[in-house]
Amino acid sequence: MSETQTAPITPEAYASGREVLLRAIGVQKHYQRGSETIRALKGIDLEIIEGEYLCIMGPSGSGKSTFFNMIGGLDSPTNGRIFIKGVDMAQLNAEELAFLRCRRIGYIFQSYNLSPVMTALDNVTLPMVFAGASADEARTRGMKILRRVGLEERWHHRPKEMSGGQQQRVAIGRALANNPSILLCDEPTANLDFKTGREIHQLLFDLNKNGGVTVICATHDWDMLAVSDRMVWIADGCIEKIEITKNIKIEKASMGGEDSHA
Amino acid sequence: MEHENLIQIRPQKNLPPRLTFMLVLRGIRYRLLRSSMTLAVITLAVVFFMSMLAGNAFLATVGNGVRKEIARERTAARLLTLVTAKPTSLGHTASLALLHHALASRDAAERAQAQAELALYVGASGMDAIEFRGLVDGAQREKLLLDFFAELDFARRKALLGRVEGRDALLLLTDEAVRGKFLHALAGMGTVRLPMHRDEFAAFEAGYAAYLERQARFMNAWNQTIDRAAPILAGLAGGASIDEALSVADPGAQARWKSALEACGFAVSAAELARVCDQLAWAKEREAVQRALSQPDKRKKWRQIFFEDPPNLQKMAMLGHPRVGPILGGRYSQAQRERIAARFRAETRLGELEKKVDERSGGERVEGLSSRQVFLIVISFLVCMVGIANAMLIAITERYKEIATMKCLGATDSFILNMFTMEAAFQGAAGGLLGTLLGFLVELARGSLSWGSTLYRYFPAADLGQVALLSFAVGIGIAVVAAIYPSWAASRMLPMEAMRVD
Ligand SMILES: Nc1ncnc2c1ncn2[C@@H]1O[C@H](COP(=O)(O)OP(=O)(O)OP(=O)(O)O)[C@@H](O)[C@H]1O
Ligand SMILES: [Mg+2]
């Protein structure tokens, strides 16, 4: 395990001189269920570089979502610390966490979580409203974002009137509303078919490469590896290995969870 | 290295209420339909409240209207009593206490009549208006206290006052030491309350002797007024009794009576006197018909024609029947009989209405809610609030994902709290509107059934408007109060719930 953590960062990242955006040090999470303690995370150390595209993979129940909650400021670790650009998340109070969630992090959920009563545009502009943007400003920026995700002419449609892929694109637009530095996606394509999933991957890839957004993506979808820079494999609450995607692409077919090539 | 790159993090600002309101407004149509359970409970509570208040408003106006009609029907009796009777001292207390009440009536006509009566008494008493007004106020307090003592149960009265009763008790209590002991004993009884503040009570007792003296003076003056009037009125009646004479008075005679009454100190309007004469004539006519119907031969004839012999009241109502003419030996024309029957039926109906009003209101004037009604309303509101809170809690647990997502997007706890409270206010408004309307319709149906057309004659539109506004506000109020806990629970929901997949 120690050797996997010695080569965590892409050479390109170092070459570009980019900073560490997120740093997790010894993150543990225990859930108490009655007398039994569930150790969902058993000590995660990870550095995430600004502007990279990171895939987090692993079997179901391995702790991916739990780790997401920690780095997204949605829940606090039992032990260990998480820094976002040098700020210790544990030091933030409720209002500061709300601020962080509003402007620094964008969340994308497996089940889209759009408000069914709002139009696409309203959904996208909701975080802007929370951030205190004026109605006009929110509107223009919202339309720009909708154009970016390819749904400009659908701005007045409600989620019910859109396909799953379109809904997820609205959700991505909503996550981008306040120009976050990080996009956290928890299985964004799990509810979508292969082709639509690929469109989402392309969109995320585009945002990462041309928009400079750091994308962290939990997924079971091997196809997503194609667009990512690094892959973190979590099993049973521990990081089992960290790979640079370029190196494993050729052996994709042989990837079955065993780490013979490392 | 990290310190140079610290990202800027400030506390998140709360969304201003106006924007929160706009967000709530956006989803409200959808929410109102989905929260039908909450809406139903609020509506029921408001229906209950509204129907109780509206029922009271109906009872109050119909009751006052009917009482006024009755009073009008009894103008003659009142005038005759006024000009001939010599009330006892306690009788004066009772009538002055009633006058005190009427002077403060909400009804302008009743107030005006009370003012006229007051002027009459002041004129007769030889006192100035202020002194007499003092007598009226004293009478009201005396009546209150006498009623209070009369309604005490035997054991308590004995413990408080020994064997003394009525005015003797009031006289006994003028002594300060006795009064002190009495008040002390009363305070020990807990549930029994003096009908006035103890300072007011002390002031009344201190002035009681003077009050009695003043009342005696008034009684004396009034008796003299009656005595002075008696020969004049008897002379005008010319051997007959006063009511006999008035019942046959033509307009000319009425004018003479009017000036005679005024000369004796009893101001009466021409219209009022005409009404008195009409009522006396009618009473005579009715009695004559009833007497005729009671004669054995007429009863026999009635039985021959109708195969039964009902009580006179029933016969009076049937007087317009063509076959009744021959029974009465053609003494009354068809038109006459029809008129008598109609007036008799109207009189009976008024009597029935009065009975119903007395039954419903317990003989009291309906001014506001009774304490029993207030108790019922409070209990029903508590039950409803528990129901609403429960329904809202369920609605909120259903929306956990939406709430958590909003928190992921930057919503603060207090925004969620405000949002849910506002939604509750909307639900309350909708339920309030619906409930007010339904409650009104229910009560209108019930009121029409019990009062018939009388309800529309005394329709309390203004009162109902107030009551409706109040019910509407109550709908919003209970919804908002009931929403406090569920909204708080919603605001505490963890943002990580948004990640959950179901
Ligand atoms: N709130 C909770 N209370 C108790 N146990 C929890 C809770 N959340 C997660 N767990 C447990 O923690 C472990 C990790 O769960 P997690 O949801 O992080 O897995 P995952 O990797 O996201 O799985 P999947 O791929 O199915 O989404 C699981 O064993 C789960 O049962
Ligand atoms: Mg998961």
Q: Ligand 1 atom 14: the closest Cα is on which residue?
A: A63
Pocket flag, ligand 1, residue A40 (CB < 6 Å): yes
Q: Does A37 touch chain B (CB under 8 A)?
A: no
Atom number in ligand 1 closest to CA A32: 4
Among A139-148, B12-21, B275-284, the range with the most confident prediction by mean pLDDT is A139-148
Rounded to an integer, what distance in angstroms lies between the CA atom of residue A201 and that of residue B407? Answer: 26
* Residue among B239, B241, B247, B237 at smallest CA distance from B273: B247
Cα gap B478→B425, rounded to integer Å:
9
Contact A45, A24 (CB under 8 A): yes
Work out the pLDDT band at B186, boundaries 50, 70, 90: confident
Q: A132-175 pLDDT, tens per residue?
A: 999 999 999 999 999 999 999 999 999 999 999 999 999 999 99
DSSP state string for B62-110? HHHHHHHHHHHHTHHHHHHHHHH----HHHHHHHHHHHHHHHT-S-HHH
> Sign of torsion, CA B436 B438 B440 B443?
negative
> What is the band of A6 on the pLDDT scale with cuts at 50, 70, 90?
very low
Question: Is A160 near ligand 1, meaning CB less than 6 Å away?
Answer: no
Task: State whether A129 and B19 contact (CB < 8 Å).
Answer: yes
Backbone angles phi, psi at B159, to 5 degrees: -65, -35
Give me the DSSP letters along B430-457.
HHHHHHHHHHHHHHHHHHHHHHTHHHHH
**A130 vs B12: CB contact, 8 Å cut-off?**
yes
Of A104, A113, A126, the CB nearest to B498: A113
Q: Is the Cβ of A86 closer than 8 Å to some Cβ of chain B?
A: yes
Task: Please state the separation of Cα B146 from the chain's center in Å.
Answer: 23
Query: A62 in ligand 1 pocket by Cβ < 6 Å?
Result: yes
**Helical pair B108-125 and B89-103, crossing angle rounded to 10 deg:** 140
- Candidate of A28, A30, A31 to mutate for ligand 1, largest count of ligand atoms within 8 Å of Cβ: A31
Give the distance from residue A194's alpha carbon to the nearest chain B alpha carbon, in angstroms.
20
- Least confident piece of the model among A33-47, A168-182, B366-380: B366-380
Cβ–Cβ of B410/A178 closer than 8 Å?
yes
**Per-residue pLDDT tens over the stretch B72-92:** 888 888 888 888 888 888 998
ipTM, two decimals: 0.88
Q: Which of A183-187, B332-336, B421-425 has the lowest mean pLDDT?
A: B332-336
pLDDT at B337: 84
Smallest Cβ–Cβ distance between B9 and the set A65, A99, A111 belongs to A99
Beta bridge partners of residue A28, listed in sequence order: A42, A79
How far is Cα B222 from Cα B217, in angstroms, rounded to an integer?
9
Residue nearest to atom 9 of ligand 1 (CA): A66
Q: Pseudo-torsion of CA B217, B221, B224, B230, nearest 10°?
A: -130
pLDDT in tens, B143-179: 999 988 888 888 888 888 888 788 888 888 888 888 8
CB atoms within 10 A of CB A193: 11
Average pLDDT, chain B: 85
As a dihedral over the C-alpha atoms of residue B193, residue B195, residue B197, residue B200, rounded to 10 degrees, the angle is -140
pLDDT value at position B441?
A: 95
Which ligand approaches the C-alpha of residue A236 most closely?
1
Specify the pairing of strand A87-88 against strand A79-84. Answer: antiparallel
Q: Is A38 in the pocket of ligand 1 (CB under 6 A)?
A: yes
Q: What confidence tens digit (pLDDT) does each residue in B285-307 have?
A: 888 888 888 888 888 888 888 88
In ligand 1, the atom with minimum distance to the C-alpha of A67 is: 18
**Minimum distance, in Å, between the CA of residue A48 and any CA atom of chain B:** 14
Helical packing angle, B371-398 and B413-451, nearest 10°: 140
Amino acid at B372: R
**Per-residue confidence band for A7, with pLDDT thresholds at 50, 70 and 90:** very low
Mean pLDDT lowest for which of A138-147, B57-66, B182-191, B363-372? B363-372
Interacting residues of A161 by C-beta distance below 8 A, sequence separation 6+: none
Q: Give CA B105 to chain center in angstroms.
A: 11
DSSP state, residue A76 = -
Q: What is the pTM of this model?
A: 0.75
Which amino acid is present at A254? Answer: S
Cβ atoms A215, A208 nearer than 8 A: yes
**Quick check: A104 and B9 CB within 8 A?**
yes
> How many whole angstroms separate alpha carbon B59 and alpha carbon B65?
10
Tokens 């149509």 locate to: B29
The pLDDT, as a whole number, for residue A165 is: 92
Residue among A20, A94, A102 whose CB faces B409 most closely: A102
